[in-house]
Structure 1
Amino acid sequence: MTDQVSMTIGGNAVATTASFEVVDPATGAPFATAPECTEAQLDEAMRSARDAYRSWKQDEAARRKLLLASADAVLAATDTIAPVLTHEQGKPLADARMEVRSVALWLRHFAGLDVDREILQDDDKVHIRVERRPLGVVAAITPWNYPLSLAAWKIAPALRAGNTMVLKPSPYTPLATLLLGRILAEVLPAGVLNVISGSDPLGALMTGHPVPRKISFTGSVATGKHVAAAAAPDLKRITLELGGNDPAILLDDIDVEAVAERLFWSAFRNNGQVCSAVKRVYAPERRYDEVVEALAAVARSVRVGAGTDPRSQLGPLNNKPQLDRVAGLVDDAVRRGGQAVVGGDLVDGPGFFYRPTILRGVSDGMAVVDEEQFGPVLPVLSYRSVDEVVERANDTHFGLSGSVWGTDADRAAAVADELDCGTAWVNTHLALRPDQPFGGAKWSGIGVENGHWGLHSFTEVKVLHRSRA
């Protein structure tokens, strides 16, 4: 075990008498402990955020300056944070470093973003100004796949708008976020960002707490529905970024050799543990075998191993329940007539490793197609007409993102425009930016993150109407 990383409440390092184990997914064994936040400490964190809000909301210039200073502090600590992230999440160390750097990128972007103000009328009769004001305290809950990046998607706009925050990471990956809290406590005023950790029911206690005026949650659809229900009695504002079952449609003019590797990594980045990754590929019937073999060839070349090994391209799945779910989905598909062209089994040895898997002979109605796998598994399906494939791609409760691939980019864009989702990419996928809104349709979420749209989601409109008559 390593020494426990403290929570941050009111700018102070706070320990607890109770703790829970954090497992290294590369070994399947605990390697550290994290603090188990008590209800009294949650109350303390909420009070601290509420008290800090009074002054934090007043000075916009100071907020910009401190977000930039926070970005510098995070970058300076990259080599401290990244190994912790790799040990608790499983991703290769190079990817962990990229994730830490993304935090700084988001902080810098929002430090430079303006909160909109509009003058509706300004004459000798009346002055009408429309402003966006902060909401107050934000309760933020983040998942285990990108614990730091997705925390930054919330921290940067919320604090820039003038809110304060209580942040809780997933109990599977609490350590890097707790460490981030300690680093930012050296920069931000006390109480502006409080970082706590704990297992269930801490998340439910946060969403039902009377202090927060907004809940920003990233995670599963099932939990997102509970969050929405918990927020309803107090009419808390919510942003829910939930699951996806993103289709990639390959048109009949596709250059398979040219796109195979990019398409593969659009599905398998972070071991497939990305809400907006490609989850199912639709290939034209006459090109089907070619597409399957091209993706399988890439899968065979990928090195799977511990994230601490610089040769590893994919690490383990993050946790045992997720490993069991992925294996179960593949086994079910094979029992129902699908074929694992490559992969389809566990990697021998300790840890939560599963071989990159390409499935052929699968069809709509199989769980591996209809549900979000969130792992290194990609089903490839065939289709006969564009109208048919668009209907099949849209026939889902999910609507996070999707992509269309073809040599004729204008034709591909026209097809992409028919997808019922928050983001439709053409000849790419997972192209995310801090200035580009990200959100889902249907069960994939409520609201958006990033860009000025995301910034506005941490505000509410206030009208100042001044009569001059």
Structure 2
Amino acid sequence: MTISDTQMLKIAATSGGKDLNASSSFSVINPATGRFFAEAPSITAEQLHGVFEVAQSAFATWKRDDNYRREVLREMANAVRNGVSSIAPILTAEQGKPLDVAASELMAAAAWFDYYAELEIPREVIRDDAAGYEEIFRRPLGVVSAITPWNFPIALAVWKIAPALRAGNTVVVKPSQFTPMSTLALGQLFRGIVPDGVLNVVSGTLGSAMVSDPIPRKVSFTGSTEIGKIVALNAADDLKRVTLELGGNDPAIILPDVNVSEVAETLFWNAFYNNGQLCYAVKRVYAHESIRAELTEALGEIARSVKVDDGTVAGARLGPINNEPQLSRVAELVEDATSNGARTVAGGSRIDRDGYFFQPTILDNVSDSTRVVAEEQFGPVLPVLSYTDIDDAIKRANKSEYGLTASVWSGDPERAYSIAGELDAGQVSINEHGRGVRPHLPFGGHKWSGVGVENGPWGLHGFTELQVVAGPPRV
């Protein structure tokens, strides 16, 4: 499938397995051109309440048949795999990532459905004897409100959809207004597979209503820490359960015994995958002074060699930044760093062409107080800092309001493992970054990086509540 430059793409919202007609729409920009390419439905808060009512009605039946839910998730996984060729171009057009990366995102989403289809929901008999019977169940919450970001629209939606549905909840998903089209397409893909009303996809200026509506009992949000705090406050008024996967400013500590030529490529792509628009990307590197110069130049050489282009162009490794506000933020952080003495090893400026392109940038001679180090840049920029004492590096890595992921790189893995436990992060990887982002492992942050976890049985538990059933002995 190709996305036409002349005909606006339009995809309807899904409610109850059917089109939800909207009286207005909003335009979606292709970040590779800076021009509108699609129209998404702008659903009103009143319509959204109706969607929640549809989801609530579907919940009564959906929650009852565990084996049926598993079979539906298996069919959803197959549908995603079969739909890669139709949805990946939409994802590239609205998000900017290269087509192969878009396809990989969809295949990962299918793997998440596969995983949850096979995951058992725990129930535990505590007592079953002449004195009585006691059993603990995990029951679904009801309707889940899922709010997703623009960097990985499909994958991060499925991180919510798969465990929520597996647990027996029904779901209403609202994607970012920067990237609604691929998620709307996903909603249409699942029609006829998922029972009507079980999974609904809407779009529009609905963030507040997605939290304040009285029907949903759980809000699962992925996005910025600033918005996450607002979500938490608004959800508290109704005591809605929340999972918040928020920002990160993730450090990588490079020990002096690494082979720079062996680790540089992996380190670079752990920072620049999806143009650095990844919550768990490497965002600041602490390199031992004895190897800092060599590592910085190796990273710069890779940055200068990477092909940056429209995601539909063959050989493009990086596309544009997703949206103009984020492009402006990245440019501002780089300018602030260079005006305060940072050395630009590679990149450093916007690419002179249509769209939101920025050069892959490596910065040297920066301090911990430089904004591009102290703040989450969420773009194709990587600052490299120097240290001489490992305890100092650990202290500086931990001196952040965030604590999502981190990594330690060493020729001696056991040495790296001993340091991992000192880092204040929800996940620490050795000689790779984000190694633990898998369907079966919990993903969540410390401090300002979030509340609760996604993925694994722990992620499923977040879409349930415990119920104890106790009584006389059972026959």
- Indicate the TM-score class for this superposition, using the shorter chain for normalisation: over 0.9
* 1:234 match: secondary structure: coil
Equivalent position of 1:155 in the other structure? 161
Distance, in Å, in 2 between the alignment partners of 1:310 and 1:162 is 42
Equivalent position of 1:385 in the other structure: 389
Q: State the percentage of identical aligned residues.
A: 53
The equivalent residue for 1:98 is: 104
- Structure 2 residue matching 1:413: 3-state secondary structure: helix
Structure 1 residue identity aligned to 2:438: R
Spell out the pairing of 1:341-352 with structure 2 (5 A cutoff). Answer: 341-352=345-356
1:131 and 2:152 equivalent?
no
Gaps of 5+ in 1: none
Contact preservation (8 Å) 2:258, 2:411: yes
1:338 counterpart residue number: 342
Structure 1 position 215, deviation (Å):
0.2
Does residue 207 in structure 1 map to residue 211 in structure 2?
A: yes
Write the distance in 2 (CA, Å) between the matches of 1:310 and 1:103: 24
1:442 is aligned to: 447
CA distance in 2, matches of 1:107, 1:6: 24
CA contact (8 A) 2:27 2:36 kept: yes
For 2:231, what is the secondary structure of its paired residue? helix
- Contact 2:9-2:37 at 8 Å conserved across structures: no
Q: Kindly report which structure 2 residues correspond to 1:399-414, keeping only aligned pairs within 5 A, or say none.
A: 399-414=403-418
1:2 Cα offset (Å): 2.1
SS of 2:54's equivalent in the other structure is helix
Which residues of 2 match residues 34-433 of structure 1 at below 5 A? 34-199=40-205, 202-431=206-435, 432-433=437-438
Give the counterpart of 1:465 among 465, 470, 473.
470
Letter in 2 for 1:90: G
Determine helix, strand or coil for the equivalent of 2:171.
strand
Give secondary structure in 2 for the equivalent of 1:44.
helix
Give yes or no for contact 2:33–2:356 (8 Å, CA) kept in 1. yes
Using the TM superposition, give the Cα deviation of residue 125 of structure 1 relative to its aligned residue in structure 2, in angstroms.
0.4
The alpha carbon displacement at 1:78 in A equals 0.9
**From 36, 48, 51, the counterpart of 1:30:** 36
SS in 1 for 2:403: coil
Q: CA deviation at 1:186?
A: 2.1
Distance in 2 between the 1:38 and 1:130 partners?
40
Q: For 1:67 and 1:412, locate their aligned partners in 2 and report how far apart those are by CA, in whole Å.
A: 38
Shift of 1:468: 3.3
Q: Greater CA deviation, 259-268 or 113-122?
A: 113-122
CA displacement at 1:35 relative to structure 2 = 0.3
In 1, the alpha carbon distance for the partners of 2:112 and 2:191 equals 18
Larger mean CA deviation between 32-41 and 267-276 belongs to 32-41
Distance 2:58 2:258 in 1: 55
Structure 2 gap ranges (5+): 1-6
| Shift in Å, 1:416 | 1.2
Per the normalisation by structure 1, the TM-score is 0.99
Using the TM superposition, give the Cα deviation of residue 40 of structure 1 relative to its aligned residue in structure 2, in angstroms.
Answer: 2.1
Contact kept in structure 1, 2:428 and 2:434, CA below 8 Å: no
Q: Distance in 2 between matches of 1:468 and 1:94?
A: 58
